[in-house]
Amino acid sequence: MTSVRRDQPYSIPDAENTRARYRRILRFAAWHLAITWWYELFLPRIGLVKITERTRTKRMQRFARSFYRMAIDLGGLMIKVGQFMSSRLDILPPEITRELDGLQDEVPPVPFAAIRALAERAARRGERPEDAADFLAYDAVVAAQRLVDGRPDPQVVKQLMRNVDAQFAEGYAEWAVYGNFAVEYVDTRTEAILLRDAGWDVVPLLLDSPALAIIAGGHLVALRDPMGWLNIHPDRRGTLNHLYADIRRVEEKTVELRGVVGIQPNTKERLTKYAFAMWRHARKATQHLTAPHKASARS
């Protein structure tokens, strides 16, 4: 088993290090997929199944040891993946789970400041919060985005276009920028307008991955991510069941408004018209959309 240095300093990866991490993970996955294809699919087809069976245990052990070393080097999510794999005795062979078992407790300690910094960085990217620290990290992001959302529509669109240009400059395809980012934010802000009429304090987040923040007591209690998942604060789970119904209702209304607007937002000019039209129609619709259980305060 590979030993782990507990005194190894913890550092927060910058953008270049993050790209290097992704490249390392992709190389690891590609290499082991190729090995698996060779031994488990190709060799049996040409009559060399005995070689496959004879080498399977050692190959699994080598894979697990390599993954263990990579997880310790990269930390974070990779350690969580390894911990999950080591616990799945029901589906993974012991050759793998035994090698990864050390990830359950032999992990270098991470300073609280580093944890907070990583959580804040994840919040600025719009990543899904999991624990209380992740939700707390969103408070500063929400406060800044509330100022953006409170501006007149032309100023909000101007900021959106700056973000669109920035993504184009990074080399993202037009269809991805418009469909997965720009339109997603326009629709999220539309839903925010509708949800406020139902009594919720919500803020659309103009981040790399646009999201919808639900606030209570001055703090984030739920986050609806671009995939439609509603992430609830650990302390509020089971207390916001009516939120699901309200979000589903405004999502359906947003789809209806898209049909009314009838604009294909695949250029900057059309995106601008789409945004103004969606937000205008949402404000008109709020007087007809008030929820029957509209609360005076959601807390």
What are 121-162's pLDDT values in tens digits? 666 666 778 788 888 888 888 999 999 999 999 999 999 999
Residues of the chain with pLDDT under 50: 1-13, 110-112, 114-115, 289-297
- Which pLDDT score, from 0 to 100, does residue 265 have? 94
Residue 111, strand partner residues: none
Report the run of H or E that residue 221 belongs to, with start and end: strand 219-224
Q: What angle do CA 20, 22, 23 make, to 5 degrees?
A: 65
Q: What angle, rounded to 10 degrees, do the helices at 268-289 and 153-169 form?
A: 140
- Number of Cβ within a 10 Å radius of residue 231: 18
- Domain locations along the chain: 15-110, 114-289
Helix (H, G, I), strand (E, B) or coil at 257: helix
Which are the contacts of 48, defined by CB distance < 8 A and separation ≥ 6? none
- Which pLDDT score, from 0 to 100, does residue 90 have? 73
Q: Which amino acid is at 117?
A: A
pTM of this prediction exceeds 0.95: no
- Residue 131 in tokens: 């624990």
- Which pLDDT score, from 0 to 100, does residue 62 have? 80
Which are the contacts of 120, defined by CB distance < 8 A and separation ≥ 6? 137, 140, 141
